[in-house]
């Protein structure tokens, strides 16, 4: 149990276009989902926290108008990178928690974004 699936696993897009990444909790309801970005040889950097039905909370320095997060249901959150630029190329990872006192978070397999 506790499977989190991300789609796509990798994507290449042109500069100026937008890309949407989906994060689904397959066998549990995720009250809270987290989005991270990871550059090569570095740790995960938290971008934002989203709770179902409410606006995401972004970490300092993360542009909310560039990284649009929608958590419309208890099993799906999406991250849209708008007007992507080469510096947005990174590994994006989501995680999901059941909340309500449950203390584990489970991670998706990640999405490799390359902007050319």
Partner 1 sequence: LAKTTQPISMDSYEGQEVNITCSHNNIATNDYITWYQQFPSQGPRFIIQGYKTKVTNEVASLFIPADRKSSTLSLPRVSLSDTAVYYCLVGDIGYGQNFVFGPGTRLSVLP
Binding region for partner 1 (CB under 8 A): 2, 4, 6, 32, 34, 36, 42-46, 49, 51, 91, 93-95, 97-110, 112
Cβ proximity to partner 1: between 4 and 19 the closer is: 4
Query: Could you tell me the smallest distance in angstroms from the CB atom of residue 16 to partner 1?
Result: 26
Q: Looking only at Cα atoms, what is the longest distance across the chain?
A: 42
Cβ proximity to partner 1: between 16 and 108 the closer is: 108
Query: Could you tell me the smallest distance in angstroms from the CB atom of residue 66 to partner 1?
Result: 20
In sequence order, what DSSP letters do the residues of the chain get, joined into one string?
---EEEE-SEEEE-TT--EEEEEEESSS--SEEEEEEE-TTS-EEEEEEEETTS--EEPTT--TTTEEEEEEETTEEEEEE-S--GGG-EEEEEEEE--TT---EEE---EEEEE-
Query: Could you tell me the smallest distance in angstroms from the CB atom of residue 71 to partner 1?
Result: 14
Cβ proximity to partner 1: between 81 and 110 the closer is: 110
Return the SS3 of 87.
helix
Query: Could you tell me the smallest distance in angstroms from the CB atom of residue 57 to partner 1?
Result: 8
Cβ proximity to partner 1: between 83 and 107 the closer is: 107
């Amino acid at each position: 149990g506790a499977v989190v699936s991300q789609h796509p696993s990798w994507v290449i897009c042109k500069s100026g276009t937008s890309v949407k990444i989906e994060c689904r909790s397959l066998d549990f309801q995720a009250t809270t989902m987290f989005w991270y970005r990871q550059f090569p040889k570095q740790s995960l950097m938290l971008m934002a926290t989203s709770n179902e039905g409410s606006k995401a909370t972004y970490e300092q320095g993360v542009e909310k108008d560039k990284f649009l997060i929608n958590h419309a249901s208890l099993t799906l959150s999406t991250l849209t990178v708008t007007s992507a630029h080469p510096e947005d190329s990174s590994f994006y990872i989501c995680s999901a928690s059941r909340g309500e006192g449950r203390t584990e978070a489970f991670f998706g397999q990640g999405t490799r974004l390359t902007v050319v």
